[in-house]
Amino acid sequence: MAQAKLTFSMENYLEAVYELSAQTGSARVSDIAARMNVSKASVNNAMNVLHQRGLVENERYREIYLTEEGRRIGRLTSQKHLILQTLLQEVMGVDEEQANEDACAMEHVISGVSTERILRFLQQQGLSPLTD
C-alpha cells in the first residue's frame, strides 16, 4: 500500500531537518523551531508525525535524525527549492526574499520532470545551484 502524500508543512519540516543536519547528521528541536519561526511544541508534534511515518528517528529531548526515506524527501525538497529560487532570482530578476518565498510555495507542487528541465536550463546558463 502506498504511503499517503505528505502535507506541505511536513515537507517543510523534513527540508529544515535535512538542511540543519547537513554538517552534523542531526538537528535539534530548538534549531528547527528557530529556522521555521514556530514553537518547540509545534516541532515536537511534527516530529512525532514524521516518526510515525518512518521519516525521522527521535527521542524526547534528543537530536533528530532522518531515516533514509526522510533524507531522500528532504534532499529532494531542498533541491527543488534551490533550483526554483535560482530561476526566479538569476533568470527572472526577482529579489531574494520574494524568490525564496515563491520557491518555498512552488517546491511542493512542481513535478520532478519540470524541475529536472529547469535544472538543465540553469546548467546551460552556468547557473547550477546544486553542488552535490
Check: pTM over 0.75? Answer yes or no: yes
pLDDT means per 10 residues, the chain with 132 residues, are: 76 96 92 96 96 90 92 94 96 96 95 94 92 66
Q: How far is CA 32 from the centre of its chain?
A: 12
SS3 57: strand
Query: What secondary structure letter does DSSP report for 90?
Result: I
Q: Give pLDDT, residue 2.
A: 45
